[in-house]
């Protein structure tokens, strides 16, 4: 059975992914497509509704993105957001004007709650506005259903044709009840039923993978990260032992992580797993290397080499499994081309693996949906909700050159930090937290002895996008416990400091 679909035409707005996510959160499957998608393609996809995103252009600008005007004759409900509303107005004969000054911020919008779009709303609601152009004259057949003092046409509708336009952004959290506007469009205007569920996605994917792969062979590089783990388990449910996973353990994972990954995949899921313990090989290549970018490059390349060598032993396979997810697809150009996701983005696609086709079972899912899929498949929560961990692993958390001894010091200190954060119940609030082995040695005193040992830095940030973030205000008692445990339990550490820098100006990782 095919799910109901809502198409999101992308006009370059910064919130396009968010719109798609909001729609899916309402259990309606959505896809982001380029604004110039052909009418034939739209007909083929047969959507229940279409949403135009915002965008930075002005409809009067040279080369401003325009969709095929035929779209308005397809009898499919359309919701235009911001630029999308202005384009709808401009194409259908209304007038868009330029305000002297950009309007930005959350604004009280006066709305007509007799409109289907604003069902269940009061007559006023706070929404986020971010625009310079505005709709001055409505096209024929349209009526005003919302305004603010500086934006007379903040919302418009043409009931007969099921066309709606809003100047504000219902998809962002700053808009109060924004999702309700999207829900009203989906369920009252488009008459969707809300049939998109992760469980049906899982069943459907397994069925499709079975048909596609049959009894042919597939190979998957497993890192222990969320995406590749979920992809592997999905494939395993579909083709069982015809899937082989190669887990390249570079030795730079956190304490016990390699064994945990092996245990889950070998014992819980009975997956055909080859674990390559390649720590020595990686450490040899990294000996005396101090430059962070060089470390990344070496690890990325070595990962590919180890993977290739193992793959060669297996011989030709039909499919190579990649854990590409939807944001990778959108960011790489609106589904026109696809990013080949390498192991944690550190390397590239192996050159010499003999395969015919790539399978990307998660390429339609957002990260939170990948996590839901993982839970649905029975992957343990601690893996599914694992905090982000960089592909080059602890190598970029040891400042300066890397040795086995330093690696062990860091693993122990990091493990204590994580344990205490969990004990304090802070693990759900802090999005990324870890220890860093600084290259700094300082003088200390233990018993009656002078020590000259390493300084461990603790890093903890709160962020949603990992592009910006604030340092976490961990209670002093927790920091005190962590510090005391680290200096007492980890040899060669005599000082612990806490990083109180936000991003920007600092980055989350130290290298």
Residues at the site binding ligand XMP, with contacts judged by CB under 6 A: 296, 344-346, 388, 390-392, 432, 466, 503, 507-509
C-beta of residue 371 within 8 angstroms of C-beta of residue 267 = no
The residues, ordered by sequence, that sit 6+ positions from 165 with a Cβ below 8 Å of its Cβ are 79, 80, 81, 84, 85, 86, 88, 89, 135, 142, 155, 156, 157
Q: Which entry of 31, 157, 171, 310 is annotated as an active-site residue?
A: 171
State how far the Cα of 153 lies from the Cα of 134, in Å rounded to an integer.
7
State how far the Cα of 322 lies from the Cα of 319, in Å rounded to an integer.
10
Residue 509 C-beta: closest distance to ligand XMP, Å: 3
**Catalytic-residue membership of 169:** yes
Helix/strand/coil for 390 = coil
**Catalytic-residue membership of 245:** no
79 versus 248: smaller Cβ distance to ligand XMP: 248
Residue 466 C-beta: closest distance to ligand XMP, Å: 4
Q: Which entry of 169, 250, 343, 344 is annotated as an active-site residue?
A: 169
Residue 396 C-beta: closest distance to ligand XMP, Å: 6
Residue 469 C-beta: closest distance to ligand XMP, Å: 7
- Segment (H or E) for 13: none
Residue 431 C-beta: closest distance to ligand XMP, Å: 8
199 versus 501: smaller Cβ distance to ligand XMP: 501
Strand 163-166 vs strand 151-158: parallel, antiparallel, or unpaired? antiparallel
147 versus 345: smaller Cβ distance to ligand XMP: 345
What sections of 424-493 are H helices per DSSP? 476-489
State how far the Cα of 511 lies from the Cα of 497, in Å rounded to an integer.
17
Nearest to 246 by CA among 273, 269, 228: 273
**Catalytic-residue membership of 171:** yes
State how far the Cα of 257 lies from the Cα of 365, in Å rounded to an integer.
26
The 8-class DSSP code of residue 32 comes to E
The 8-class DSSP code of residue 503 comes to B
Residue 503 C-beta: closest distance to ligand XMP, Å: 5
The 8-class DSSP code of residue 323 comes to -
Q: Which entry of 82, 151, 220, 245 is annotated as an active-site residue?
A: 82
Four-point Cα dihedral 211, 214, 216, 219, nearest 10: 60
333 versus 388: smaller Cβ distance to ligand XMP: 388
Residue 302 C-beta: closest distance to ligand XMP, Å: 14
159 versus 506: smaller Cβ distance to ligand XMP: 506
State how far the Cα of 22 lies from the Cα of 30, in Å rounded to an integer.
9
Q: Which residue has the tokens 């915002």?
A: 54
State how far the Cα of 447 lies from the Cα of 456, in Å rounded to an integer.
20
298 versus 487: smaller Cβ distance to ligand XMP: 298
C-beta of residue 6 within 8 angstroms of C-beta of residue 23 = yes
State how far the Cα of 328 lies from the Cα of 237, in Å rounded to an integer.
24
Our separate counts of H helices and E strands in the chain read 14, 19
1 versus 467: smaller Cβ distance to ligand XMP: 467
Residue 421 C-beta: closest distance to ligand XMP, Å: 16
Phi-psi region at 324: left, alpha or beta (left = phi > 0; alpha = psi -120 to 50): beta
57 versus 398: smaller Cβ distance to ligand XMP: 398
Helix/strand/coil for 161 = coil
Which residues does the annotation mark as catalytic?
A: 82, 169, 171
């Amino acid at each position: 059975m095919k799910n109901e679909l809502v198409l999101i035409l992308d006009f370059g707005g910064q919130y396009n992914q968010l719109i798609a996510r909001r729609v899916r959160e309402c259990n309606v499957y959505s896809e982001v497509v380029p604004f110039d998608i052909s009418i034939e393609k739209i007909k083929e996809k047969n959507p229940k509704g279409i949403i135009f995103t915002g965008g930075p252009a002005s409809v009067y600008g040279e080369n401003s993105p325009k969709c095929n005007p035929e779209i308005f004759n397809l009898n499919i409900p359309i919701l235009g957001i911001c630029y999308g509303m202005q384009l709808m107005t401009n194409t259908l004969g209304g007038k868009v004007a330029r305000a002297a000054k950009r309007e930005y911020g959350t604004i009280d919008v006066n709305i007509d709650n007799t409109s289907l779009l604003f069902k269940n709303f009061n007559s006023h609601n706070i929404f986020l506005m971010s625009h310079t152009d505005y709709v001055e004259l409505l096209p024929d057949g349209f009526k005003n259903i919302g305004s603010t003092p500086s934006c007379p046409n903040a919302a418009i509708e043409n009931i007969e044709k099921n066309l709606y336009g809003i100047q504000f952004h219902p998809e962002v959290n700053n808009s109060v009840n924004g999702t309700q506007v999207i829900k009203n469009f989906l369920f009252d205007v488009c008459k969707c039923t809300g049939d998109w569920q992760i469980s049906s996605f899982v069943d459907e994917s397994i069925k499709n993978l079975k048909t596609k792969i049959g009894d042919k062979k597939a190979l998957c590089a497993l890192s222990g990260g969320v995406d590749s783990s979920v992809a592997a388990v999905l494939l395993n449910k579909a083709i069982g032992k015809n899937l082989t996973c190669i887990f390249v353990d570079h030795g730079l994972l956190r304490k016990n992580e390699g064994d945990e990954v092996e245990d889950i995949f070998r014992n819980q899921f009975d997956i055909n797993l080859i674990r390559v313990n390649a720590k020595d090989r990686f450490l040899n290549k990294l000996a005396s290397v101090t430059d962070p970018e060089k470390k990344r490059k070496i690890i990325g390349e070595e990962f590919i080499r180890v993977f290739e060598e193992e793959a060669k032993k297996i011989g030709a396979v039909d499919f190579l499994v990649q854990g590409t997810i939807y944001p990778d697809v959108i960011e790489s150009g609106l589904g026109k081309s696809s990013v080949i996701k390498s192991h944690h983005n550190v390397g590239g696609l192996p050159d010499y693996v003999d395969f015919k086709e790539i399978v990307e079972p998660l390429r339609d899912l957002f990260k939170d949906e990948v996590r839901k899929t993982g839970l649905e498949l029975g992957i343990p929560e601690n893996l599914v909700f694992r905090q982000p961990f960089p592909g080059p692993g602890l190598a970029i958390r040891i400042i300066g050159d890397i040795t086995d001894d330093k690696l062990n010091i860091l693993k122990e200190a990091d493990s204590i930090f994580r344990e205490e954060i969990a004990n304090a119940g802070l693990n759900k609030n802090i999005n990324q937290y870890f220890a860093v082995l600084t290259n700094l040695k300082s003088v200390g005193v233990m018993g009656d002895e002078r020590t000259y040992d390493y300084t461990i830095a603790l890093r903890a940030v709160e962020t949603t996008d990992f592009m910006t973030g604030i340092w976490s205000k961990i209670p002093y008692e927790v920091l005190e416990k962590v510090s005391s445990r680290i200096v007492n339990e980890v040899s060669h550490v005599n000082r612990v400091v806490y990083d109180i820098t936000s991003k920007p100006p600092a980055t989350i990782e130290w290298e």
